[in-house]
Each structure stands twice: as C-alpha cells, then as structure tokens.
Chains A and B, each alone.
Chain A
C-alpha cells in the first residue's frame, strides 16, 4: 500500500483577531483544521457538501463554507468563527439577539447562522424580512421554522445600527 506521507506546510493566518501558525496539509479541509487541529468547534459539519451552512466562517469578511475550503486557501487571510464574534460573557449583539428572540433550539445551525448574519448586516444595516430570509437561505434549520431566526436578525440590526463585525 502506498505510504501516505502527506506533505505539510506552515500555514499562517489570522484567526479571531490573533495570528496563527500551524503545520498542516495544504489540502486539509478548513473545517477539520479548525475543529480538530485548533479546537474551535463552533463551526459544525452537517453535510460536508455546502448544503446546510452549519460550517460557515468569515474569510476576509465574507461568509464561506469551511467544509468546501482547503487549508492552503487561508494563507494570509483573516478568519472569524462564531467563537470570534463573542463569548458567553460578552456575546456579540447578533448572538445575544438569537438568544433573546428564541432563535436557538438545538443550536447546531446557530453558529453558522450568526456568521451569515454578520456578513449580511455589515452590508445591509436596515433589512426587511424578505432580505433576511434571503440572507440566511444557505443555512438550514430543522428546529425553528426560521421565524424566530428572522426576528433575531432584525433585532440584531436594530440593536447595533451600523455595526459590523
């Protein structure tokens, strides 16, 4: 059987505001890099094929699917995961709005939803319900029927006018 020596390289990028250097295979899935090598488990795997959005992260401010990205693509980029938006002690206004509006049930989709929301509100500070539904349409939720998620995004927009991540 072929010896599986996967070549590695030193990947350097900014993660949640701080510099990161990590030895990894350039072809490693970003989702695995974050969750298993760097211990950041907010981004979740729901499908591995871009159909659910649970793995969303911000890369240079754009919400992307970390299950369809390779480590080498992160070189020099600025990456934000849901952990980088806020913490339980100091949640981001979007995260707080999700909690306060009952938008979290099982919560597995929530980090991805908040990431998609963060990019959306940065571009669209005063959205209507239709725009919000469009903005989160790549993030599946099986628990909520989306109503309270839409409420939460609108509440976050009101809570932090003009604020972007």
Chain B
C-alpha cells in the first residue's frame, strides 16, 4: 500500500506517482480545505521540486516557477518592478499565512473565477509551460482555464511555470480587488488593467480583465478597443465601463448579487480618471 502523502524531490520522482493517480498539492490552501473531514486520498506535494521554482527572465518572458509561493513572488524585484499589476493582487491575496503557503501554480490550476492572480495574468497575456514525462508544451492561460475548477491540464501533466511578457516599462498597471473585507477575502469583483499611452496620454493599447464576474476571468475586448485612442478621462472611462458591463456574465452568490458585480465592474476603471 502506498503512502498517503509524499514530497517527491524531482519531476522524475513525480511521474510514477502521477501514474498511480495521486492528487497534486501545490500549497494545500485550497486542496486541503476542500478535503476537510474526508478520508484522505494520496497526495503528492510539489514543494521540493526545484525545477518548479525560480523567477527569471527567459526568452523575453518573465518566468515564474509554478511552485513559487505568493509571498516569495511578492518579495521578488522582477515582480514588484515589472509586474506591479500582479504584485497588487498578491498583496491582497488571502492573508500573510496563506501567501506563505499558496503558490501561483496552485492558484491557476484551482481555476476559481475569484483566484486573485488570474485577472492580472489574463491582462498580462500570460502563457503557461506544462510538463509531463513526455515533454513540455506552452499554452495561453486564457485558453487553459475552461470554467470553475476545470482546466486543460492533461493526466500526467503538471504546470511548471507561468511565462509573462513584461509590459512596456511606461505602461500603467492597475489592480483593484473588491471583497467584503480587507483581508482573508474572496473577490466579489476584481479589475486588472495594463494600459499603454503615448506621450500625450492617448491610449495606445489597453488590456482589461475582470475577475469574479463569470465562470472564468473575463477579458473585455470591446472595452479595450473603445479605450484605444482616447484619454483616461471620466467621460471615456464611463463609456468603457459600460462596455465592460456588457462583456461579463456575473451570477448571484452569497457574497454579492449579479447586479452589484455588474455595476462595480463598470465603475472600477474610473479610479484612473485624470
């Protein structure tokens, strides 16, 4: 009988465990909460696999090891300086204790529409590196997540790294999370925006992503197109906000009504009004 929990030290040690059907644990802050009070099924913790760690610049991407914790990412200069929209989300994710345990890979594969890192990563056009004993493949994050808890991860595969094309240093990066309290909160709505303007303040490129307003994080292509060529003034942002409201499918739940989410989703960009 196999052990009910293991910490493989390398991918080579992980592959046979995946064939046995173990559940992958990359932090445990979601998995173990969901399995509370249940008879434990075997898990493999990824935390000792060095090749799933590290933050580096690689082939023009900022590569974030999937098993980096939220706290370690938040401390990293590349994340803080080049990806402030992600840092902003990490800063309000769960609590310091959760951030010391949870990982970016775990946040992605859990695929909650309220996963705090997801809206920034959508707005950053992040890609994912997936590895298996047969090789590696690279997919866009947006296509990888299919719905709550559902991803394109294949049997035998693990998420190895998140590859983020760094925005222009001059780009405006903005994140706001609306929760029912300020810590240990699940987002009711979140907005991630990466906006590039010219020297005159005219928007050249806008990437807008909303969390917790549909089964997956939503990019807002209509709103993005509407914002291009305009300045970040109140009038433009009101119009763009209205477009954003039309691009989402929020639901009612315990934390907020669909109407509230829709209203706030269109309001948040106004915070940038000059």
Contact = CB atoms under 8 A, between A and B. Distances in A.
Instruction: Decide whether A and B are members of one complex.
Output: yes
Interface of A: 5-7, 9, 25-27, 48-51, 53, 56, 62-65, 67-73, 75, 116, 119-120, 134-140
Contact of A27 (B40, B94, B95, B97): B40
Contacts of B5: 25-27, 70-73
Given A62-B100, A70-B5, A73-B5, 19 more contacts: A7-B1, A7-B3, A25-B5, A27-B4, A48-B36, A50-B29, A56-B97, A64-B97, A64-B100, A65-B29, A68-B28, A68-B101, A70-B32, A70-B45, A71-B5, A119-B96, A119-B100, A137-B96, A139-B97
Contacts of A63: 96-97, 100
B1 A69 contact: no
A62 B68 CA distance: 14
Given A50-B29, A138-B183, A65 B97 contact: yes
Closest 3 CB pairs of A and B: A138-B95, A137-B183, A27-B4
B28 A70 contact: yes
Interface in B100-114: 100-101
B249 interface: no
A65 B213 CA distance: 30
A137 B99 CA distance: 11
B184 interface: yes
Contact of A50 (B2, B4, B98): B98
Interface in B195-235: none
Contacts, number: 93
* Overall SS of chain B's interface: loop
A51 B184 contact: yes
B231 to A, nearest CB: 33
B129 interface: no
Contact of B3 (A9, A67, A120, A136): A9
Contacts of B33: 49-50, 68
B174 to A, nearest CB: 20
B56 interface: no
A5 B1 CA distance: 9
Given A27-B4, A50-B33, A72 B45 contact: yes
B3 A75 contact: no
Interface string B1-25: 1111111000000000000000001
B4 A53 contact: no
B96 A120 contact: yes
Nearest to B47: A73
Contacts of B183: 134, 137-138
A120 B5 CA distance: 30
A116 B97 contact: yes
B182 A137 contact: yes
Given A50-B97, A137-B183, A138-B183, A72 B7 contact: yes
Name the residue among B5, B45, B95 with the largest chain A CB count within 10 angstroms: B95
B141 interface: no
